[in-house]
Amino acid sequence: MRLLRSTDLALRVLMRLAVAAATDNPTTKQVSADMDVPYTHAAKIVAELQRLGLVDARRGRGGGLSLTERGRAASVGTVVRAFEGDDDVVECEGANPCPLRSGCRLRGALRTAQEAFFAALDPLTVADMVADPTGPLLLGIPRTRAAAGD
C-alpha cells in the first residue's frame, strides 16, 4: 500500500514541529524549506492540521507554528486515516466499475488489510516519531533563514 504524498508530507511537518523549541516556533515557509516540502503543499497541509486541532498557528512577531498537546499525543494511525480518507485501495466503482463489485470477496479482504495497515500505526504517536535517531537527525538539519510572517 502506498501513502498519498500529502499524508507523508503531513507526517514530515508534524515531525519537524515535534522537535521545535517552545520559544522558536517555525513558520510554514521555514518548515517547507527544512523538510523539502513545496510551500503550496505545506500551506494546505498546515491548514488541514490546524483544522484537525493538531497544530496551532500564530501570526506576527513571535508567532509561528506549534504542535498542540493533542497533536503531540496524536496517533500516527489517526493522522494517516485523516489524510488518506475512506477510499478503497482499488477502484471498484468509478468511471469503469468492476463487474464483480456487488459480490466480491477480494474487496472485503482488501478493506480488512487496509484497516490492519492503519491499525499497525495506531500505537505510534507523533511524539514517538521523533525519538532517537529521528529527533537528533531532525535537529541536525540546517535551519532555513526563510522570512517569517507567512
Residues 23-52 that bind ligand SF4 (CB under 6 A): none
Q: Based on the shown chain and the rule CB under 6 A, indicate whether residue 100 belongs to the binding site for ligand SF4.
A: yes
Q: Based on the shown chain and the rule CB under 6 A, indicate whether residue 120 belongs to the binding site for ligand SF4.
A: no
Closest separation between CB of residue 111 and ligand SF4, Å? 9
Q: Is 146 helix (H, G, I), strand (E, B) or coil?
A: coil
Q: Based on the shown chain and the rule CB under 6 A, indicate whether residue 106 belongs to the binding site for ligand SF4.
A: yes
The site string for ligand SF4 over 74-93 (x = CB under 6 A, - otherwise) reads ----------------x-x-
Closest separation between CB of residue 83 and ligand SF4, Å? 23
Cβ atoms 73, 55 nearer than 8 A:
no
Number of residues that bind ligand SF4 (CB under 6 A): 9
The 8-class DSSP code of residue 142 comes to: P
One residue of 5, 70, 101, 111 binding ligand SF4 per CB under 6 A:
101
Q: Based on the shown chain and the rule CB under 6 A, indicate whether residue 113 belongs to the binding site for ligand SF4.
A: no
The dihedrals phi and psi of 73, each to the nearest 5 degrees, come to -90, -5
| Residue burial 73-104, b: 16+ Cβ < 10 Å; e: rest | ebbbbbbbbbbbeeeeeeeeeeeeeeeeeeee
User: Within the chain, where are the H helices?
Assistant: 5-18, 28-34, 39-51, 69-73, 76-84, 105-121, 126-129, 134-139
**Which residues form the interface with ligand SF4 (CB under 6 A)?**
90, 92, 98, 100-101, 104, 106-107, 110
